[in-house]
Chain A
Amino acid sequence: MKAGISISRGALLELRKKLELVKRGKEILEMRRDQLIGEAYRLLSKVEERRRLEERFASILREAQKTYLLMGHRGVDSYSCLVKPPKLRLVRRSLLGVIVPKVVELRRPDPGQLPDPSLRGLITELWDLLKEFIELAVEETMLELICKEISYLNRVVNSLEKRLIPQLEEELRYIRIRVEEQSLEEFVRIKKLRDRLRGASYEY
């Protein structure tokens, strides 16, 4: 119990308001936490696609490896000069109050100058897959950031629930009892004073 608490009806009212505000804050934080958990579950189902992507990557990789061997390392290097590189931009956005990254594709790689259509096809396929991997990486990062936020919110809600609210309730109870005691004392004092005043009037 905090020392130096002022015991008065005003303090009691003030404390009641404070407790109500803390409880409402806790509820809001719980609601935000639930929304973030829902978002995390949604992202989790997307992140689970990694296996499918990896399988697709393995099959494309086989083709790429064969191409690498058939063309030779310098052949692949010289062919890659003919491909215009892609352009990406990393931006930040807010998701339920959490700042998460987002990758925006400004330009796809352009293999139009490659003479071999199968090479062009391979590059397009590889880029599509790479883009999916980038999106997956962004979602994994989002999930990580959301999980961090959830754990932070959990700590806040727990401290409110287990520490601040019981403490305020205890203070409130203490003040209420003290205020009641005071009012009882007041009542008794008034009663005694009234009896004394009545006794004096009988004497007259």
Chain B
Amino acid sequence: MSIETYLAVKARGLKLRLLPREFYHTMLETPTLEESIKLLSRTEYRLTVERGVPSPDEIRCATLRTFINRVEELLIGINGAVADFVRSYSLGRVEMELLKELIRVLSAGHKYELFPCPNLSSLRVSLRLLSTLSSLEDVVQELGRLYDYKILVTAYNLYRDIGEEALLECGLEADYYDHCWNAANKVHATRRLKELLLIDSSSRWIYWLVLLKTRGIRAKILNQLLRHMVKGLDEDLFRWGIKSPLEELHIVIGFISRALEKAYRSSFPRGFLALERELGKVLYSYASHLLRLRPIDLSYTLACLLLHYFEANNVYRVLVGKIAEIPPEIIRQTLYL
């Protein structure tokens, strides 16, 4: 049995630990936050109300910890390229999210407050170390030197010239997908695995392409930053996407995926948050579809981890929404179900 098959079999066990859709509805219908947490304490998200209502930071920490533990559990006894790939893909997502916050705060000239979560040692990047650096330049240089964030360094140089913060975030994401594609090249990447990676990276590529184009960023810079983000994408399609005006972009997207095109067409007029969410939904649907297909390769493992990641976000949104006394119907709209 290959490692990929072994992981796919283990992921089948992990799939059973996904919370059912009804669970979220039950949580949303509970009248108090305490009851929701009590309900959740029966699952792996071990939050308690003994020391009072948990803060949003504690909730986020608990959800991330659960997700990281699941990834680590899955990878017990597995080393080498496959483990590196799974880690880059799943834990890299958490890492990217936290780094984005750090970069945003530093680019505004504020002091970064370390995310108070003790269970982030599994991440490749040490946030504790980075939080001791006071300037954005130092952080970017350290990330480039220690953790191979090369596109971010390029993005930082462009940011210094143009002053557009979005370039930094885009560079960070481009690095994440670049690491994923590089790691995928070292393992036995099946067609489905490449497809999953392509849908995932393309959805973000579309988002950044549209966002940076509306911010007036030139095609040359877009080419420079986004090239490594979608390595699995056809070169001509990539160039066409970079050059095409926003009104014609749906044609390019249609060649990548019909679902992405549909999401783009329906959500773009409603704004970028809607676009991001709809593109995320496509990825969620594709991952769910893969779980139903039950392939015996890494695509199943990644899809399963991806759904666990969405689950962690869903749990966080329900609880934080309840703390902020946001009506259940609004919370429901933000969940991936």
A201 within 8 A of B: no
Fill in one digit per residue for A45-78: 1 if any B CB lies within 8 Å of its CB, else 0. Answer: 0000000000000000010011111101111011
Contact residues in B for A82 (Cβ distance below 8 Å): 104, 107-108, 165
A121 within 8 A of B: yes
Within 8 A of B (CB), among A16-71: 62, 65-70
Q: A69-B321, A69-B330 are in contact. Are A121 and B104 (CB under 8 A)?
A: no
CA–CA, A79 to B273, complex, Å?
14
Q: Is the interface of A mostly helix, strand, loop or mixed?
A: helix
Q: Of A72, A77, A81, A116, which one neighbours B272 at CB under 8 angstroms?
A: A116
Within 8 A of B (CB), among A120-134: 121
A119 within 8 A of B: yes
Contact count A vs B, C-beta below 8 Å: 80
Q: Of A62, A65, A69, A74, which one neighbours B60 at CB under 8 angstroms?
A: A74
Whether A118 contacts B316 by the Cβ 8 Å rule is no
Q: Of A65, A75, A79, A119, which one neighbours B330 at CB under 8 angstroms?
A: A65
B326 within 8 A of A: yes
A113 within 8 A of B: yes
- Total interface residues in chain B, CB < 8 Å: 36
Whether A115 contacts B326 by the Cβ 8 Å rule is no
Whether A119 contacts B273 by the Cβ 8 Å rule is yes
Q: A65-B330, A78-B105 are in contact. Are A113 and B274 (CB under 8 A)?
A: no
Whether B316 contacts A72 by the Cβ 8 Å rule is yes
A109 within 8 A of B: no
A117 within 8 A of B: yes
B101 within 8 A of A: yes
Binding site for A on B (CB under 8 A): 56-57, 60, 100-102, 104-105, 107-108, 110, 115, 164-166, 169, 211, 214-215, 271-274, 276-277, 316-317, 320-321, 324, 326-327, 330-331, 333-334
23 residue pairs bridging A and B, Cβ less than 8 Å apart: A62-B330, A65-B324, A65-B327, A65-B330, A66-B273, A66-B330, A66-B334, A68-B324, A69-B330, A70-B317, A72-B56, A72-B316, A74-B56, A74-B60, A75-B100, A75-B101, A77-B101, A81-B108, A115-B211, A117-B271, A118-B272, A119-B272, A119-B273
